[in-house]
Amino acid sequence: EFRRFSLERSKPGKFEEFYGLLQHVHKIPNVDVLVGYTDIHGDLLPINNDDNYHKAVSTANPLLRIFIQRKEDADYSAFGTDTMTRKKNVLSNVLRPDNHKKKPHIVISMPQDFRPVSSIIDVDILPETHRRVRLYKYGTDKPLGFYIRDGSSVRVTPHGLEKVPGIFISRLAPGGLAQSTGLLAVNDEVLEVNGIEVSGKSLDQVTDMMIANSRNLIITVRPANQRNNVVRNSRTSGSSGQSTESSLPSSTPNILANFLQGEEESDEEDIIIEDSGEPQQIPKATPTSESLESLTQAELLHETTQNGFLPSSEVNLNHSARSISMECEVQNADHKSLEEDGTIITL
């Protein structure tokens, strides 16, 4: 369920007050909840102290979307596989590393307090020799900071070993995002950019593809140094460490589907300024998907005095995965098909 209500932007107050307000609005006075919000980049960030609360309020534009989860249900692994939250890929990606690296329910730290700068994804479907790295570019604060070059690599083919042209990382700029993640290194071979294989493409083409995807860049590399590979939970899958296939054909559609979805969701929206007013994000034109989206989100309408939004006090709270009604599931299925439709249109 969700609620909408208004807040005074200039006087947000303290986090405790806000927390209380939420509990009050949703009539859950004694339930421990985790509070999160989506920032302008579409990332889910936590609200658990005054600082990030104020930050959240200041970024409201004018609507601030707040997500509330029951603390005992805040089982992140459930999010990763949950169809309903899957859609919001950002969310699952924020949380997915935990999924793979740790056993669920053992919270060592609070990763949600930090904003991810990079992640290794799709470990389960890639050969062990490959690594798929996602770089998160937030605004302009940190340059991506890497360079690529032409080169050649040796590939195992049915005709034996063959030398084929390839694209390699040639340099990491000090202080850049790529260097700071430690996930990419000089001489790593670039195999894919956002799910598209680079073989057969020129250096300039790959450069253009990377820049076009720079807001949400996912590159699959074959690291030059194979010693630091992620070791799988189960090594029974038969793929030996020496496998040099560029990708597993059977898993490719899956990968692509994942990517397209992720891309659509995390793609930054263009901005419009109407009649010299405030810059706003350009919304999606499909009204149905908008209303469906709101099912999974708590929306907080934040009234600002500059523009003439009507104050409203409706807040919906989604009581996490456990309380999904039948109706909701039906609509969810509906939504999935719609989404597919959307993908086709954009293809």
CA-nearest of 162, 141, 165, 161 to 151 is: 165
Using CB under 8 A as the binding rule, whether residue 143 contacts another protein is answered as yes
Q: Quick one: 76 or 146, whose CB is closer to another protein?
A: 146
Please choose, out of 3-11, 60-68, 275-283, 312-320, the segment that lies near another protein by the rule CB under 8 A. 275-283
Cβ 129 vs Cβ 243: under 8 Å: yes
| Whole-angstrom Cα Rg for the chain | 22
Question: What is the identity of the amino acid at 11?
Answer: K
Residue 206 near another protein by CB under 8 A: yes
Tell whether residue 279 is a contact of another protein (CB under 8 A).
yes
Only one of the segments 70-78, 108-116, 282-290, 297-305 lies at the binding site for another protein (rule: CB under 8 A); that segment is 282-290
Phi, psi for residue 66 in degrees, rounded to 5: -115, 135
Q: Say whether residue 218 binds another protein (CB under 8 A).
A: no
Residue type at 21 in one-letter notation = L
211 lies in the site for another protein, by CB under 8 A: yes
Residue 204 interacts with another protein (CB under 8 A): yes or no: yes
Choose which of 71, 232, 235, 284 interacts with another protein (CB under 8 A): 284
Between residues 106 and 282, which has the closer beta carbon with respect to another protein?
Answer: 282
CB of 345 to another protein, least distance (A): 6
- Quick one: 47 or 184, whose CB is closer to another protein? 184
Task: Give the C-alpha separation, 325 to 15, whole Å.
Answer: 31
Nearest to 266 by CA among 213, 206, 340: 213
Tell me which amino acid residue 175 is: G
Q: Which is nearer to another protein, 306 or 346 (CB)?
A: 346
Instruction: Answer for the pair 188, 223: CB distance below 8 angstroms, yes or no.
Output: yes
Residue of 112, 179, 213, 316 that binds another protein (CB under 8 A): 213
Residue 141 binds another protein, judged by CB under 8 A: no
Q: Which is nearer to another protein, 44 or 217 (CB)?
A: 217
* 229-164-196 Cα angle (round to 5): 65
User: Would you say 33 or 219 has its CB closer to another protein?
Assistant: 219
Query: Which CB, 26 or 134, lies closer to another protein?
Result: 134
- Which candidate, 277, 245, 226, places its Cα nearest to that of 125? 245
Which amino acid appears at position 152 of this protein? S
Residue selected from 98, 189, 263, 299 as contacting another protein according to rule CB under 8 A: 263
192-195: list long-range contacts, CB under 8 Å, 24+ apart.
192/132, 192/218, 192/219, 192/220, 192/247, 193/217, 193/218, 193/219, 193/220, 194/218, 194/219, 194/259, 194/263, 195/255, 195/256, 195/258, 195/259, 195/260
**Minimum gap (Å) between residue 256 Cβ and another protein:** 11
Q: Does 55 bind another protein (CB under 8 A)?
A: no
Residue list 304-343, contact with another protein (CB under 8 A): 337, 340-341
Max CA separation in the chain (angstroms):
71
Nearest approach in angstroms of CB 105 to another protein is 38
* Interface residue with another protein, options 31, 156, 230, 271 (CB under 8 A): 271
For the CB of residue 211, give the shortest distance to another protein in the complex, in Å.
Answer: 7
Q: What does DSSP assign to residue 257?
A: H
Q: How far is the CB of 110 from another protein (least distance, A)?
A: 29
Closest by alpha carbon to 111, among 100, 127, 126, 125? 100
Which residues are near another protein by CB under 8 A? 137, 140, 143-150, 170-171, 178, 194, 196, 198, 201-215, 217, 263, 267-276, 279, 282-286, 337, 340-341, 344-347
